[in-house]
Amino acid sequence: MSKFRPTPEDGLSGKKIQTLEEFKSIISEGEGFIALTDNADPTRIHSVTCYRLKPDWFFEKVVENKGKNGLYLWYPSKEEAQNANPNTENCKFCNA
């Protein structure tokens, strides 16, 4: 079971991924789903095994741009991710 769990201080139902180290750890564990929020595009949910979850893209959105255009949120299940983000689109690659 993943050590990444949402906490009350996150202020979100998903675990806000804030560092490249957290991102890489979550991907390497291979458990759960990530909701990618974006101000310009619909929120998309991806399996953590989706090849479209790239460290470079995470770094640009979250670290360099300080998450001002969107976030990466981890959830233990697809159902939790969908419930927390009802207006989402499935990833066309991993079909999460």
Buried b / exposed e across 54-71, counting CB within 10 Å, b at 16+? Answer: eeeebeebbeeeeeeebb
Amino acid at 10: D
The whole-number pLDDT of residue 9 equals: 46
The whole-number pLDDT of residue 89 equals: 87
The whole-number pLDDT of residue 90 equals: 85
pLDDT (tens digit, 9 = 90+) per residue, 21-69? Answer: 999 999 999 999 999 999 999 999 999 999 999 999 999 999 999 999 9
The whole-number pLDDT of residue 95 equals: 85
